[in-house]
Amino acid sequence: MPRQLSFVQQIQKLYKGKNIDAAVSLQKSVLGSEDLIISVNKKTAVGKRGTKSSKGMVPESTLQYFLELGLNIQELESSNMEESVEEIQEKLSPEASFANIIENLEKYSTEKKEVILSNKSKLLSILKTYSPIKKDNYEFGLSLNLRPNRRLIAFEWNDRKRVREYSQRPDFPNLWECRACYRIYKRLSTPGVVRIHECSERVARPHLYYVSDIVFLPDEHSCKPMDYLLVMHYQKLLHEGNVPGARSMRQKINFIYGECDFA
């Protein structure tokens, strides 16, 4: 039985046979694009002070893995382009922000106005250093062991492309810790890497507040935000009960926005 050609090999064979129309048609049907070379950002060292970005070709194994996951390459690539949001949220003073929440309460919380007013002093304190986001800018997700509402996935401020993932702290139910920042903190606080007290000064462990059914985002992070489409596809695998697929996706793909090549 002859060996089955991969889609990339099929495309290459068609090009070599000068069957251009068939090659382009196959590429568009598989990749959603006429361009076989898909640009991604790869970090290359330029010295101690920083990095620069270069464009390269996504390996065939990567393309095949995206297809196995059901990810649309063209959609993923276009997601890494800037896109304006429909409604820009302004940074306000604590008092003005609280007044805006009360005026547009249905967009921020399911609680009654009386409950919000009863927590006014606490919310004003939070609003000094945190920013409230509307209900359509976050959602709850599953953990890897399929426990519901164990992840809170929130869009960045005025950004519908980038998200961060938070986990609820068992010791402080109103606090949800940024998972990526926590991993950085744990890595740097490992014995032999850096001393704990030095790490605490160098690495932030940001949390969001979830109070009165309102999410308040922190301003500072040590991590880079993740690509919304990748995070949502990961959650889709979990909702389907495909834990091995979700675990494999985490291991093989870099979720950081703009860096969606193999990790």
pLDDT at 157: 86
Structure confidence at residue 65 as a pLDDT band (50, 70, 90): low
Q: Please tell me the distance from the alpha carbon of residue 262 to that of residue 259, in angstroms, as a whole number.
A: 9
pLDDT at 55: 39
Structure confidence at residue 33 as a pLDDT band (50, 70, 90): very low
Same domain for 244 and 138?
yes
Distances (CA, A) of 174 to 40, 124, 170, 178, 189: 38, 15, 9, 13, 25
pLDDT at 53: 37
Token pair, residue 27, equals 């590429």
Among 15-29, 50-64, 117-131, name the one with the lowest average pLDDT: 50-64
Are the C-beta atoms of residues 238 and 142 closer than 8 Å to each other?
Answer: yes
**What is the number of structural domains in the chain?**
2
Residue 203: inside a domain, yes or no? yes
Residue 124: inside a domain, yes or no? no
Q: Please tell me the distance from the alpha carbon of residue 263 to that of residue 261, in angstroms, as a whole number.
A: 6
What is the identity of the amino acid at 90? E
Q: What is the mean pLDDT of the chain?
A: 77
Structure confidence at residue 81 as a pLDDT band (50, 70, 90): very low
Residue 79: inside a domain, yes or no? no
pTM: 0.69
Residue 166: inside a domain, yes or no? yes
Residue 211: inside a domain, yes or no? yes
Residue with the bigger pLDDT between 23 and 33: it is 23
Token pair, residue 75, equals 């959609």
* Highest averaged pLDDT of the listed ranges 20-24, 71-75, 79-83, 182-186: 182-186
Partners of residue 243 on adjacent β-strands: none
Phi first, then psi, for residue 44 (nearest 5°) are -130, 140
Among the listed residues 115, 176, 107, 93, the one whose alpha carbon sits nearest the alpha carbon of residue 137: 107
pLDDT at 56: 39
Segments forming the whole domain that contains residue 5: 1-36
pLDDT at 35: 41
Which segments of 54-104 does DSSP mark as H helices, in order? 60-69, 73-79, 94-103
Look at residue 51 and tell me whether its pLDDT is greater than 90: no
Euclidean distance between the first and the last CA atom of the chain, given in angstroms as a whole number: 35
Largest CA distance in the chain: 75
Same domain for 135 and 240?
yes
Token pair, residue 172, equals 């402080």
Residue 71: inside a domain, yes or no? no
Structure confidence at residue 69 as a pLDDT band (50, 70, 90): low
Look at residue 115 and tell me whether its pLDDT is greater than 90: yes
Residue 49: inside a domain, yes or no? no
The tens digit of pLDDT for each residue in 141-159 reads 999 999 999 999 999 988 8
Look at residue 87 and tell me whether its pLDDT is greater than 90: no
The tens digit of pLDDT for each residue in 176-210 reads 999 999 999 888 876 655 454 444 456 678 999 99
Structure confidence at residue 86 as a pLDDT band (50, 70, 90): low
Among the listed residues 207, 206, 212, the one whose alpha carbon sits nearest the alpha carbon of residue 124: 212
